[in-house]
């Protein structure tokens, strides 16, 4: 979970964070979710971490069947998400998951 996805993507792609991403060279953002508050984001991420790998793969393939790196066009999608919406981007907490 992060409140600054652009920074988090940079950190992961440049191996600045210890953990799964660095250990397994997993640098593609293949799934993310948006939550309106930090408690919802934390709960969602905790639930997803308990899921079977098969369920996670199915979740990813529902919205990203080609497993494209969503970080490449994430910010364009965020702009369109908020167009016509009175919420500011800082009001939405992205929940990210990197598997590949």
Beta strands in the chain (DSSP E): 31-35, 93-97
Question: Which residue blocks in 1-100 are alpha helix, DSSP H?
Answer: 5-13, 20-23, 38-50, 53-63, 74-82
The residue extents of the domains of the chain are 5-97
Task: Please tell me the predicted confidence (pLDDT) of residue 44.
Answer: 92
Summarised one tens digit per residue, pLDDT across range 36-74 is 889 999 999 999 999 999 999 999 999 999 999 988 876
Q: Are 35 and 95 in contact (CB under 8 A)?
A: yes
Task: Please tell me the predicted confidence (pLDDT) of residue 86.
Answer: 43
Task: Please tell me the predicted confidence (pLDDT) of residue 43.
Answer: 94
Is the pTM higher than 0.85? The answer reads no
How far is residue 30 from each of residues 39, 48, 80, 84, measured CA to CA in Å?
A: 23, 14, 19, 26
Q: How many residues does the chain have?
A: 100
Summarised one tens digit per residue, pLDDT across range 2-40 is 888 888 888 888 899 898 888 998 889 899 888 888 999
């Amino acid at each position: 979970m992060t409140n600054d996805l652009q920074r988090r993507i940079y950190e992961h792609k440049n191996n600045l964070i210890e953990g799964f991403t660095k250990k397994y060279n997993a640098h593609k953002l293949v799934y993310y979710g948006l939550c309106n508050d930090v408690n919802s984001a934390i709960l969602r991420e905790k639930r997803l971490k308990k899921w079977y790998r098969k369920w996670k793969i199915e979740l990813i393939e529902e919205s990203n069947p080609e497993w494209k790196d969503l970080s490449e066009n994430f910010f364009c999608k965020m702009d369109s998400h908020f167009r016509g919406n009175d919420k500011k981007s800082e009001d939405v907490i992205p929940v990210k998951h990197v598997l590949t």
